[in-house]
Amino acid sequence: MTKRVVHYVNQFFAGQGGEESAHLEPVTVEGALGPGLQLQTLLGDEAQVVATVWCGDNHFAENLESTRREVLRRIASFEPDLVIAGPAFNAGRYGMACGEVCRSVTEELNIPALTGLYPENPGVEIYSRDIYIVPVADSARGMKVALQTMGALAAKLLNGELQGTAEEEGYLSRGRRKNFFFAENGAVRAVEMALAKFHGQPFKTEFEMPVFDRVPPAPALKDLKGATIALVNSGGVVPMGNPDRIEVSSASHFGRYSLESLEDLTAQAFESVHGGYDRTYVNDDPDRVVPLDALRALEKEGVFGRLYEYYFSTVGTGTPVKNCSRFGTEIAGQLKADGVDAVILTST
């Protein structure tokens, strides 16, 4: 009997456009759509993509609970044996939506589900312990390989053939332990690993320890009256024309721009080059991401000492953690050298 699969995608992969369509509500299309067409080819005769449910990224993120219920209702109506979401690569909102769909399907419908995310996608941290996540590339350039890997895992889930470790089966660890039988006892295996490490040979521990990225918060300012405050943002707000050529995603650098003699950031002189959100309202008024007008007013009221004469800007979407850490270290170094006491890091 042919198994039934429902596929979830966002508005872009449904062929409805980019950010201008991110507000669109859930829609159901019978059969495969977009990347689901290749997915159907990979599944062959074992399974059929009976429907595609898609939704705008912004609508899902801004109406999480109601949209989750509506998407779940649409999926359930097709009585699937498996749900596949994405792949979402390194798209944050899309990745979060895929994670939420898969977790809801797994927990509420008791149906297996999987998605494909770049390991640094925020959806991995939130959902990896609850669902099957296939590690994929950071962009749609890796679509072919992503679908092949997801298709292989889908076939195993449909046929109940998932037996090995997460690494062996091709998905990210869910932090669950399984018992395995080995020919050698633990002492022998431990000595073999120790010798491999001693000789610089590859080895893999059987007990991986979690890695936590903990940043201790700085102490609160005791007095704002004499404090120097700086503005930093990852919303891509730059002088018109993007003089430093900061990339729209996967940024490799940041920019520093003067605020001297400026009371606010105007739409004629500044713009956002960020490729991960609808920039319409920011380009109408760049102060929405770099709140210079509000800070100038507070500065004049004497709420704090002075506003630092430059602001820093980069683009967060798709930017590797390694680059982000470097940006933070370099920006913080400049601010400390210039006597800045606190930073307002605005969000998009």
Q: pLDDT by residue (tens digit) across 160-203?
A: 887 777 777 888 887 666 666 778 888 888 898 899 998 999 88
User: Backbone phi, then psi, for 142, in 5-degree steps?
Assistant: -95, 20
- Average of pLDDT values for 276-291? 92
Q: pLDDT by residue (tens digit) across 38-66?
A: 999 999 988 999 999 999 999 999 999 99
Q: Which residues pair with 148 in a beta bridge?
A: none
pTM to 2 decimal places: 0.65
Ranges 157-166, 239-248, 301-310: which has the least confidence = 157-166
pLDDT of residue 212: 62
User: Helix or strand or coil: residue 316?
Assistant: coil
pLDDT of residue 97: 95
Q: Which long-range contacts (CB under 8 A, 24 or more apart) does 132-137 make?
A: 132/102, 132/157, 132/171, 132/174, 133/99, 133/171, 133/172, 134/87, 134/170, 134/171, 134/172, 135/171, 135/172, 136/87, 136/89, 137/89
pLDDT of residue 152: 92
Residues in contact with 232: Cβ distance below 8 Å, sequence separation at least 6, in sequence order: 311, 312, 313, 331, 343, 344, 345, 346
The answer to whether 39 and 7 have CB atoms below 8 angstroms apart is yes
- Average of pLDDT values for 312-327? 87
**When comparing pLDDT for 172 and 304, which is higher?**
304
pLDDT of residue 186: 85
Ranges 206-220, 221-235, 303-317, 328-342: which has the least confidence = 206-220
Q: Give the β-pairing of 82-89 and 237-239.
A: unpaired
What is the side-by-side order of every strand in the sheet holding 228-233? 255-258, 306-313, 228-233, 342-346
Ranges 119-128, 204-213, 289-298, 334-343: which has the least confidence = 204-213
**Exposure class string for 70-85: b at 16+ Cβ within 10 A, else e:** bbbebbeeeebbbbbb
pLDDT at 210 over 80: no
H helical segments located in 199-318? 280-284, 292-301
The answer to whether 34 and 57 have CB atoms below 8 angstroms apart is no
Q: pLDDT by residue (tens digit) across 140-157?
A: 999 999 999 999 999 999
Q: Is 25 exposed, middle or buried (0-12, 13-18, 19+ CB in 10 A)?
A: middle
Cα–Cα distances (Å) from 290 to 243, 295, 296, 301, in that order, read 18, 9, 11, 19
DSSP symbols for 171-230: S---S-------SS-HHHHHHHHHHHHHTT-----SSPPP-----PPPPPPS-STT-EEE
End-to-end CA distance of the chain: 48
Percent of the chain with pLDDT strictly greater than 70 = 96
Percent of the chain with pLDDT strictly greater than 90 = 70
Q: Is 120 exposed, middle or buried (0-12, 13-18, 19+ CB in 10 A)?
A: middle
The answer to whether 273 and 236 have CB atoms below 8 angstroms apart is yes
Q: pLDDT by residue (tens digit) across 7-29?
A: 999 999 999 998 899 999 999 99
Q: pLDDT by residue (tens digit) across 73-116?
A: 999 999 999 999 989 999 989 999 999 999 999 999 999 999 99
User: For the chain, which domains are there?
Assistant: 3-169 (3.40.50.2300), 228-346 (no CATH)
Ranges 179-188, 245-254, 289-298: which has the least confidence = 179-188
pLDDT of residue 347: 75
pLDDT of residue 330: 95
Question: Using 50, 70 and 90 to split pLDDT, how confident is the model at 348?
Answer: confident
Largest CA distance in the chain: 75
The answer to whether 91 and 99 have CB atoms below 8 angstroms apart is no
**When comparing pLDDT for 300 and 2, which is higher?**
300
